[in-house]
Amino acid sequence: MRVKYNADTEIVFQIGDPVEYSCAAFLHNAMYEYANINAVSLIMHVDKGRLEEFVSAAKFMRINGFDLTMPHKTDIIPFLDECDEVSRIFKCVNHVKIKDGRLIGRGLDGVGMRLAIEDKTGPVSGKSVLIMGAGAVAGAIAAELCAHGAREVTIANRTESKAEYIAEKMKAMFQVPVDIGPLSDEYMSSVAGGIDVVVQCTSLGPMLGHEDFTSLSFVDRLRPGCVVADVLYPTTTLLDKVAALGLDTVDGSGMMYFQQFPAMEFRFGIKLLPEAVLEAEEAVALAVTMRDLRNKRKKRVKL
Average pLDDT by stretches of 10, the chain with 303 residues: 76 92 88 94 94 96 94 94 94 95 96 96 96 93 96 94 94 95 93 97 65 77 96 88 95 91 96 93 86 82 66
What integer pLDDT is reported at residue 209 of this predicted model?
A: 47
CA 196, 201, 206, 212 torsion: positive or negative?
negative
Instruction: Tell me which H or E stretch contains 186.
Output: helix 185-191
pTM of the entire predicted model:
0.89
Q: In terms of Cα–Cα distance, which of 247, 236, 172, 227 is closest to 208? A: 236
Which residue ranges form the domains of the chain, and what is each CATH number? 10-108+259-302 (3.40.50.10860), 110-252 (3.40.50.720)
Distance of CA 110 to the CA centre of its chain: 7
